[in-house]
Amino acid sequence: MNVLHTLRCMGVTTLARVAEAAGLGESDVQSELIDLAVAGLVTYEPGDFGGWGVTPAGKTADAAGVAAELDAAGTKAGVAGALGRFLPLNTELLDLCEAWHLRSGTMNDHGDPGYDARVIALLADLDRRAGVVLAALTDALPRFGRYRVRLTEALRRVEAGETRFFTDDMASYHVIWFQLHEDLLVTLGIPR
Amino acid sequence: MRWIHPLTSGEPADVVGGKAHGLGVLMRLGLPVPAGFVVGTAACRAYLRDGRLPGGLAAELATAVAGLPAGRVSVRSGAGVSMPGMMTTLLDLPADDLTDAVTEVFASWHTPRARTYRDLHGIPHDLGTAVTVQTMVYGDRDPRSGTGVAFTRDPTTGDPVPYGDVLFGRRGDAVVSGREHPRPLSDLAGREPEVQAGLAHAMAAVEAHYRDACYLEFTWESGRLWLLQARPGRFTGTAAVVVATALADAGVIGREEALRRVSPHDLRRTARIVPPADVLARGLGACPGVAVGRIATSADAAVRMAAEGPVVLVRPETSPHDLRGMAAAAGIVTARGGRASHAAVVARAMGRPAVVGTAGLLVGPDSISVAGRALAAGTVVTIDGTSGEVAVGEPAVTTSLAEAEVERLLGWADAVSGDTSGRPGPDRLRAAHDALTAQA
């Protein structure tokens, strides 16, 4: 998956996370990032909240790149249709994240394993339905297949008891989904 | 009629839905409610079973509509248990044929989102919703019209002061949309004193009926008040304690009932702004806690400024580009979105106090503004993720609001449980709940 576009949908992040999201080796991604930095499309910022990020020029270049990609594939209608089916699922996912955090208006203290198990089972059910949309998206543009792999991994870890992969980790189900949402909007050239 | 009931039928909420049940209460209290009727949940269950409206309903609808004043109607969902925002509501429909509208509301019972909500809250999937049909009233009819929502007491402190929002010259959906900046309820007294007096009377009557703080939705049309919904307020946290003890002190409810109305979670110590504060705006509290910091209007600025002290990140809404700014910030404010938005989810995941859905908040490159009042980036603000308040400067903050009320309630709890050993408050309340359950 294209490194510039991957980073565009993630915000500012680490080399390891870009490589994981793109499904590429770290050394290849690092070399690509350096080339992109030389071209002025990405930049590296040190510090606690720093990392690799796309510059305004990089954003423009990526927008042109994804528009050309979509034209070449001739599948704009397919991607737009998938966004239409994604949005109700997005509302549902956010409902589930809210239910994971809050219960009857107060913070869920995760002291009721039955309740948590119910929310996780509903996430798994949503994930199955999202799979249909992801499959259609991947038919339209194969790079969307990475989200299927990443979301599956996050769900597997939640179900295995690593519940920070529901919303809390930067590789959590919600964060990956948030990037997928961004990717759909960027790919179709829709402003937020 | 078999499927349709008058609003005043007095049938329970599982037959006519919670919304129509509440409207019936209002009418029996002699309060002004637009004319209407309700298609009961039995008709929805028949629809869910057979895949079509039950025989005879169309004819009953025609008869019931003929009994309403001429004009357009609203068609609202409402199950026996609360499922807020999960099903369809249709406004401003010609009343000549409502079968399609009723079918659409029934069908919305089965949206995946509504299913998920029922699974989460243990609501049976075959319960069905009622449909309330009422004559439309227009908050946007003329300058002497408007709409509002109100609690009979302040929902964040529990104080016996009505709290709410009004929009002059607008319809009810505008208040809920958050696109327009509402005015405080107190503005009503100056512009529409008769509406205000009618509302005060309704608040007292509704509180007396439910013996609790209540929530009301209302519209006034050409200076005339109409009530559109009423239900108990379901306060949480400090407000739940303050209302329960006040009602017990006033003899409205007993001490045991006061104890039942407060959950051990309500006793959690959460940082809160202490009134009075210079409140710039009030949105939805999305993650409890207080954050104090300088305003940053972009993720990049938040990261840069955080090196020199705490910042509050203020954004229209958030994208993944804001993630690092949210991580760097002490607190987060957004103009759009609800408690289930990407920003709210990330804020809670990161443990950052957050206010979302701040109606009327505009975020510029170097400043923010609300209703014409502008604050430059870098200005210190304090946000309360429980009440949704965004206050200018550094008001006082406490983790022990209403300490006296909490202690009094816990004294009643010890009297019920018979255990006066020193334990944390939530344990004392839990022991009282156990004792009350054992008695019952």
Give the rounded distance of the alpha carbon of B78 from its chain centre: 15
Whether residue A176 is contained in a domain is answered as yes
Q: What backbone torsions phi and psi does residue A85 show, to the nearest 5 degrees?
A: -85, -25
Both A180 and A117 in one domain: the answer is yes
Identify the domain boundary among A22, A42, A67: A67
Q: Does B263 contact A at CB distance below 8 Å?
A: yes
Q: Does B266 contact A at CB distance below 8 Å?
A: yes
Name the residue among B266, B317, B328 with its Cβ closest to that of A192. Answer: B317
Whether residue A86 is contained in a domain is answered as yes
Which residues in chain A are contacts of B268 at CB distance < 8 A?
106-107
CATH architecture of the domain with range B146-232: 2-Layer Sandwich (3.30)
Q: Is A184 exposed, middle or buried (0-12, 13-18, 19+ CB in 10 A)?
A: buried
pLDDT, average across residues A119-139: 97
A vs B, Cβ pairs < 8 A, gives 110
Q: Which amino acid, B403?
A: E
At residue B50, the pLDDT reads: 96
In this structure, are residues B403 and B385 in contact, taking their beta carbons and an 8 Å threshold?
no
Residue A189: half-sphere exposure toward Cβ, Cα within 13 Å = 12
CB contact under 8 A, B116 and A95: yes
Averaged pLDDT of chain B: 95
pLDDT digits (tens, 9 = 90+) for B362-392: 999 999 999 899 999 999 999 999 999 999 9
Which residues in chain B are contacts of A168 at CB distance < 8 A?
349-350
CB contact under 8 A, A88 and B111: yes
Note down the domain range covering A125: 75-187
Both A80 and A161 in one domain: the answer is yes
CB contact under 8 A, B116 and A105: no
In this structure, are residues B434 and B256 in contact, taking their beta carbons and an 8 Å threshold?
no
Search chain A and give the residue with CA nearest B113.
Answer: A92
Q: What backbone torsions phi and psi does residue B263 show, to the nearest 5 degrees?
A: -95, 150
Kindly report the pTM of this predicted structure: 0.90
Distance separating alpha carbons of residues B265 and A19, to the nearest angstrom: 42
Helix (H) or strand (E) holding B75, with range, is strand B73-79
CB contact under 8 A, A101 and B317: no
Question: In percent, how much of chain B has pLDDT > 90?
Answer: 89
- DSSP for B130-173 reads EEEEEE---TTSSTT-EEEEEESS-TTT--SS-EEEEEET--HH
Name the residue among A11, A95, A167 with its Cβ closest to that of B323. Answer: A11
At residue B178, the pLDDT reads: 59
Rg of chain A over Cα atoms, rounded to whole angstroms, equals: 18
In this structure, are residues B425 and B267 in contact, taking their beta carbons and an 8 Å threshold?
yes
For residue A132, give Cα distances in angstroms to A53, A94, B277.
31, 19, 50
At residue B400, the pLDDT reads: 83
Q: Could you say which DSSP state residue B298 is in? A: S
Distance separating alpha carbons of residues B334 and B347, to the nearest angstrom: 11
Name the residue among B111, B342, B348 with its Cβ closest to that of A178. Answer: B342
Q: Is B257 exposed, middle or buried (0-12, 13-18, 19+ CB in 10 A)?
A: middle
Residue B111's DSSP bridge partners are none
Residue in B60, B44, B156 with CA at minimum distance from that of residue B107: B44
At residue B177, the pLDDT reads: 62
Both A28 and A120 in one domain: the answer is no
Query: Strand B284-287 to strand B290-296: parallel, antiparallel, or no bridges (unpaired)?
Result: unpaired
Q: What backbone torsions phi and psi does residue A14 show, to the nearest 5 degrees?
A: -90, 160
pLDDT above 90: residue A48: no
Both A91 and A176 in one domain: the answer is yes
Both A62 and A97 in one domain: the answer is no
Task: Taking each helix axis as running N to C, give the angle between helix B193-210 and helix B13-28, from 0 to 180 degrees, rounded to the nearest 10.
Answer: 130
Whether residue A57 is contained in a domain is answered as yes
In this structure, are residues B263 and B238 in contact, taking their beta carbons and an 8 Å threshold?
no
- Domains of chain B by residue range: 4-135, 146-232, 237-269+401-439, 272-398
Question: Given pLDDT bands bounded at 50, 70 and 90, which one contains residue A1?
Answer: low
Both A58 and A103 in one domain: the answer is no
At residue A54, the pLDDT reads: 97
Both A91 and A183 in one domain: the answer is yes
Q: Quickly count: other Cβ atoms within 10 Å of residue A75's Cβ.
A: 18
Q: Quickly count: other Cβ atoms within 10 Å of residue A160's Cβ.
A: 9
At residue B176, the pLDDT reads: 63
At residue B58, the pLDDT reads: 96
Which residues in chain A are contacts of B337 at CB distance < 8 A?
none
Whether residue A141 is contained in a domain is answered as yes
CB contact under 8 A, B319 and A10: no
Identify the domain boundary among A13, A47, A67: A67
pLDDT digits (tens, 9 = 90+) for A6-25: 999 999 999 999 999 999 99
Both A95 and A131 in one domain: the answer is yes
In this structure, are residues B123 and B81 in contact, taking their beta carbons and an 8 Å threshold?
yes
Distance separating alpha carbons of residues A30 and B3, to the nearest angstrom: 68
pLDDT digits (tens, 9 = 90+) for B306-363: 999 999 999 999 999 999 999 999 999 999 999 999 999 999 999 999 999 998 899 9
Chain B closest CA to A69's CA: distance in Å?
A: 22
Both A82 and A59 in one domain: the answer is no
Whether residue A192 is contained in a domain is answered as no
Distance separating alpha carbons of residues B33 and B148, to the nearest angstrom: 15
Name the residue among A50, A88, A97 with its Cβ closest to that of B113. Answer: A88
pLDDT digits (tens, 9 = 90+) for A153-165: 999 999 999 999 9
Residues of chain B with pLDDT under 50: none
Both A60 and A106 in one domain: the answer is no
Whether residue A153 is contained in a domain is answered as yes
Identify the domain boundary among A49, A67, A85: A67
B272-398: CATH class: alpha beta
Both A61 and A79 in one domain: the answer is no
Both A87 and A159 in one domain: the answer is yes
Q: How many domains does chain A have?
A: 2
Fold for B4-135, please state it. Answer: Dna Ligase; domain 1 (3.30.1490)
